[in-house]
Amino acid sequence: MRRFALFLSLALIVSRPVFAQIEVYDFDKPHTQIMFFVDHLGFSRPEGEFLDFDGSFTFDRGEPAKSHVEIAIKTASIQMDDEAWNKHMMNADFFNVEKFPEMTFRSTAIEVTGESTANITGDLTILGITKPVVLAVTHNKSGKFPFGDRYVAGFSGRTTIKRSDFGMVYGLPGVGDEVEIRLEVEGVRNDEGGTGNP
């Protein structure tokens, strides 16, 4: 019995660091921005943003390729800094928010490209159409937040899609087809769903 107890203790000690690599994070919404840029008649590349979203991501320190991200974005939360423009972006010409209140992204594969960079492939669904996209992501920093007990991980990401691939063709070609998406993400570790260990 003593040998069994010793074996079990050793097994727990050995296996714990492996488990401790996997961490679950909730998006810190005030410090997370989902932005996009589109050419407007060749004069400028205006920026828009989505303000409401839900989701989380896992971060596997030992094997980053096993990390995962999932997010649902409320299309009616679009913000173009102009009320008339907001309403137009919400109608059937663009995001058709009544019929499609959410667009989603779910990662399917992660390719580590450097010490702090990776390409995240995932399924992006807009207007009910799902297409694969690749996000180029940089891990900026992970660590204890200087105020309070939170543990935070931060990332920057970008990709470019064609809105026509998702059936959004209004205004082409005057309003650009290519949409540059930029992400600035902070996640707060959920110690109940993760490890609780820095």
Q: For residue 67, what are the contacts with CB-CB under 8 A and spacing of at least 6?
A: 57, 58, 59, 60, 107, 110
Per-residue b/e over 130-163, b at no fewer than 16 CB within 10 Å? eeebebebebeebeeeeeeeebbbbbebebebeb
Give the pLDDT confidence score for residue 192 in this predicted structure: 52
Is residue 104 scored above 60 in pLDDT?
Answer: yes
DSSP output for 34-53: EEEEEEETTTB--EEEE--E
Is residue 152 scored above 60 in pLDDT?
Answer: yes
Is residue 33 scored above 90 in pLDDT?
Answer: yes
Is residue 120 scored above 50 in pLDDT?
Answer: yes
Give the pLDDT confidence score for residue 62 in this predicted structure: 84
Q: Indicate the SS3 state at residue 123.
A: strand
Q: Which CATH superfamily is domain 21-189 in?
A: Lipid/polyisoprenoid-binding, YceI-like (2.40.128.110)
Q: To the nearest whole number, what is the mean pLDDT of the chain?
A: 88
Token pair for 55:
């989701």
What's the rounded mean pLDDT across residues 81-87? 97
Is residue 4 scored above 90 in pLDDT?
Answer: no
pLDDT, tens digit, 9 for 90 and up, residues 5-28: 333 333 333 333 444 478 999 999
pLDDT, tens digit, 9 for 90 and up, residues 131-144: 999 999 999 999 99
Give the pLDDT confidence score for residue 22 in this predicted structure: 85
Other CB atoms closer than 10 Å to residue 105's CB: what's the count?
Answer: 24
What's the rounded mean pLDDT across residues 107-118? 95
In 79-190, where does DSSP find H-type helix? 83-90
Q: In this prediction, what percent of the chain has a pLDDT beyond 70?
A: 86
Give me the residue spans of the domains in the chain. Answer: 21-189
Give the pLDDT confidence score for residue 193 in this predicted structure: 47
Other CB atoms closer than 10 Å to residue 86's CB: what's the count?
Answer: 15
